[in-house]
């Protein structure tokens, strides 16, 4: 019986020691002086945050589909919405493309399109397809804790986010100088 208890205890100890290798630890991070490879934030510019109704274009990366009356809204993930007239379901007509960078979700109520643009919530008047206009923008209401404030991959130095430069819409690997952030 004593041998069995020793075997169980030894096995349990071996399992626990083996599990400790599953946890990634970096210890204290030292920041290099001068140039090094790391991630650099990409900030939205005024064009990235504009809403423009454009000519039709092919669907490249379809997302959600929303039906509002005879209008089909087909999300082109992170790029905008295809507007399709569905009065004749056997022959739908592509009306155009509403460019809204960062768009992934939408809803329509009382001829107002509610759509995300990165971390912002937009209200867009769609009562007249030929005169689509922004009604309101609520900034950063859809921000997730930390949001896009760190690179998509951990274990790298990165250029710290400067909120005065605007919304971070992505990250790129680049040569950075004297990094002060690590993730």
Identify the three-state secondary structure at position 168: strand
Quote the pLDDT of residue 9. 60
Quote the pLDDT of residue 2. 64
Pairwise pLDDT comparison (79 vs 6), residue with the higher score = 79
Mean pLDDT of 96-122: 95
User: Which of 96, 135, 133, 139 lies closest to 117 in space, CA to CA?
Assistant: 139
Predicted confidence band at 22 (pLDDT cuts at 50, 70, 90)? very low
> Where along the chain do its domains lie?
51-138
Q: What is the pLDDT of residues 39-67, one digit of tens each?
A: 999 988 878 789 999 999 999 999 999 99
What does the block give as tokens for 2?
A: 């004593």
CB of 146 within 8 A of CB of 154?
no
Mean pLDDT of 145-158: 80
User: Which of 97, 96, 122 lies closest to 108 in space, CA to CA?
Assistant: 122
pLDDT at 7 over 80: no
- Asked whether the CA dihedral 109, 112, 118, 120 is positive or negative, the reply is negative
Give the global pTM. Answer: 0.69
Quote the pLDDT of residue 142. 85
β strands within 22-167, DSSP E: 35-43, 51-54, 62-68, 71-76, 80-85, 93-100, 106-109, 112-117, 120-125, 133-138, 157-158
C-alpha span between 102 and 91 (Å, rounded): 29
Q: Which helix (H) or strand (E) holds 53?
A: strand 51-54
C-alpha span between 183 and 29 (Å, rounded): 10
Query: In the chain, pLDDT over 90 holds for what percent of residues?
Result: 59
- Mean pLDDT is lowest, of 12-16, 76-80, 98-102, for 12-16
Cα dist. 179→38, 73, 160, 172 in Å? 8, 43, 7, 15
Q: What is the mean pLDDT of the chain?
A: 86
pLDDT at 90 over 80: yes
Predicted confidence band at 23 (pLDDT cuts at 50, 70, 90)? very low
C-alpha span between 118 and 101 (Å, rounded): 7
- Mean pLDDT is lowest, of 10-19, 97-106, 128-137, 168-177, for 10-19
Q: Which residue has the tokens 């109704």?
A: 53
Pairwise pLDDT comparison (139 vs 27), residue with the higher score = 139
- Please give the CATH topology (third level) of the domain spanning 51-138: Thrombin, subunit H (2.40.10)
Q: Which residue has the tokens 């951990």?
A: 154
Q: Provide the CA 9 distance to its chain's centre, in angstroms.
A: 47
> Which residues, other chains included, contact 99 with Cβ-Cβ below 8 Å and sequence gap of 6+?
50, 51, 52, 53, 54, 79, 80
């Amino acid at each position: 019986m004593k041998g069995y208890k020793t075997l169980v205890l030894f096995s349990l100890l071996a399992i626990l020691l083996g599990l400790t290798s599953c946890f990634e630890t970096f210890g204290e991070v030292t920041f290099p002086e001068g140039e090094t490879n790391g991630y650099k934030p990409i900030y939205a510019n005024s064009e990235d945050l504009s809403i423009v109704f454009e000519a039709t274009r092919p669907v490249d990366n379809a997302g959600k589909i929303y039906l509002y009356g005879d209008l089909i809204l087909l999300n082109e993930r992170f790029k905008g919405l295809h507007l399709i007239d569905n009065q004749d379901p056997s022959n739908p007509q592509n009306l155009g493309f509403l460019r809204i960078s960062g768009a992934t979700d939408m809803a329509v109520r009382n001829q107002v399109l509610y759509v995300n643009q990165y971390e912002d919530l937009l209200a867009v008047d769609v009562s007249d397809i030929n005169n689509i206009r922004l009604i309101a923008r609520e900034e950063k209401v859809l921000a997730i804790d930390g949001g896009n404030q760190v690179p998509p991959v951990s274990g790298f130095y990165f250029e710290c986010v400067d909120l005065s430069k605007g919304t971070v819409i992505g990250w790129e690997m680049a040569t950075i100088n004297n990094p002060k952030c690590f993730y």
